[in-house]
Amino acid sequence: MNVTHTPRFVLRPAAVGLLVAGLALIALAVVYFVTPAHALPSLLPGHDATSRHHIKHGLAMLMLSAGAGAGAWFLSAPRSPSS
């Protein structure tokens, strides 16, 4: 009986990069949600003199992190056996 074992997932460098990018984007979303606009670091978009939070920027970062997570998920799938 010849049974070959295929792994459930394969960790590729691109998938790891997307996971790291997704985690960084989640952290950036939290910064946008909890920090007022005037207190944002100057390198982030939205740094201005108003005192409101940037909810739309935070939501955009969460959407980008979801996309990075989906990309990492699809990249970690095992390759189909070639015949």
pLDDT digits (tens, 9 = 90+) for 13-45: 899 999 999 999 999 999 989 988 888 887 877
Number of CB atoms found within 10 A of residue 32's CB: 22
Q: DSSP code of 8?
A: S
How much of the chain exceeds pLDDT 90, in percent?
A: 37
Q: What is the DSSP string of 23-57?
A: HHHHHHHHHHHHS-GGGS-TTSTT--S-----HHH
In a domain? residue 53: yes
Total number of domains in the chain = 1
In a domain, 83, yes or no: no
How many angstroms separate the Cα of 7 from the Cα of each of 11, 65, 81? 10, 26, 12
| Domain limits for position 61 | 13-75
- Is 6 part of a structural domain of the chain? no
Count of CB atoms situated within 10 Å of the CB of 1: 2
The model's pTM is 0.78
pLDDT for res 82: 60
Report, as an integer, the average pLDDT of 53-61.
87
Task: Indicate the pLDDT class of residue 61, thresholds 50, 70 and 90.
Answer: very high
